Amino acid sequence: MKTGIVGLAQAGKTTIFQVLTRASHELIAERSRRAQPNVGIVKVPDERVDFLASVFIPRKTTYAAIEFVDVGSLVQGQGRDLALDAVRDVDAMVHVVRAFDSGIPHARGSVDPDRDIRDFDTELILSDLQSVEKRLERIGKDLGRMKDAELERERGLLVGIREWLESERALRVMNLSPEESKRARGFAFLSQKPMIYAINVGEDRIDMLRSSAEEESALPPNTARVLISGKLEAEMAELADEDLAAFLKDYGLEESGMVRLIRSAYRLLGLISFLTAGEEEVRAWTIRKGTTAQRAAGAIHSDLEKHFIRAEVSAFGAFREHGSFAALRERGLLRLEGKDYIVQDGDILTVRHSG
């Protein structure tokens, strides 16, 4: 699953990409010279994995991971920005929005986060409108030659999408049925992709980071907002773990903005983690929300899915409280679930199979 980092020039997106992925300045510069996107794999911080590793002391500890792509800087152009093509292949976007003053001029002449968000969403909407118009024109020609029920359904969906886009609303907030949403995803509409607005503030506004908690219910669907200070994050990236804890405490912060950004991206992608634990390895496995136990077993190995019998399941909270599988078993807190059980985020699974 890919998350594209986008934004205007001088918004701080490359700094944020570098801190997220720990990529070197040299590597980023070399890829820029070759006109290649910067790509990095980022582990998803998970205190559940940390706890299980402290209990089992495994030979290997593996976190869930997601891929971030640093897309080229955007230039306003009525939906025709070439950089927009680079985000068609990503599953979600992080729009880094400049909210700090510096000696470097802003690409729009002044710092205005709300305007930058609005303008970028307009670019996505205009690009999608162009795609819809082209497809409707083609469908009209095809239906002029023959009747086709499938094309009629597609045209009906696209007409509704066109009306929505013309009202200057992104497709990510449009209420589509599961079937309509799946059909629309086939067009790779840009404004349909989940969006995180990463508001990049200066060190003079650190107080905003302390009070940046925002109710998800107050945000539009498939949207998240994270306040972050790229400059501060770059400083924290140079610190050892014990020094980082003291640094955060000095600023009155519980965790870094990068941690919140990674978790937001993971959640918006519709992903959850289930866990396996033992002396050999403690690991978080990535699956989509709503995945069955049998399909989840396939994330570990295809043979486990093929020969699945049952999954022994415990909630992480119960394990943390009682400290061992033996204690859970004594208390009847280990459940045997069948192939159709919907795995929950944080479930600890042991797969029983016939292979």
Residue 159 neighbours by CB under 8 Å, 6+ apart: 136
Cα distance between residue 82 and residue 185, in whole Å: 21
What band does 137 get if pLDDT is binned at 50, 70 and 90?
Answer: very high
Instruction: State which fold the 2-45+65-108+193-268 domain adopts.
Output: Rossmann fold (3.40.50)
Write down the residue that tokens 């086939």 correspond to.
186
Cα distance between residue 345 and residue 128, in whole Å: 34
Cα distance between residue 111 and residue 102, in whole Å: 10
Predicted local distance difference test score (pLDDT) of residue 207: 65
149-166 and 178-185 helices, crossing angle to 10°: 90
**How many other β-carbons are positioned within 10 Å of the β-carbon of residue 347?**
21
User: Is the pLDDT at 78 greater than 60, yes or no?
Assistant: no
290-353: CATH number:
3.10.20.30
The answer to whether the Cα torsion of 296, 68, 175, 153 is positive or negative is negative
Query: Is it true that 2-45+65-108+193-268 and 290-353 share their CATH fold?
Result: no
The answer to whether domain 120-192 has CATH 1.10.30.50 is: no
Rounded mean pLDDT, 63-81:
73
What band does 75 get if pLDDT is binned at 50, 70 and 90?
Answer: low
User: Is the pLDDT at 79 greater than 50, yes or no?
Assistant: no
For the chain, give every domain's residue range: 2-45+65-108+193-268, 120-192, 290-353
- CA distances to 16, 21, 87, 159, 209 from 101, rounded to whole Å, are 17, 25, 28, 43, 17
DSSP code for 111: -
Residue 31 neighbours by CB under 8 Å, 6+ apart: 37, 38
What band does 29 get if pLDDT is binned at 50, 70 and 90?
Answer: low
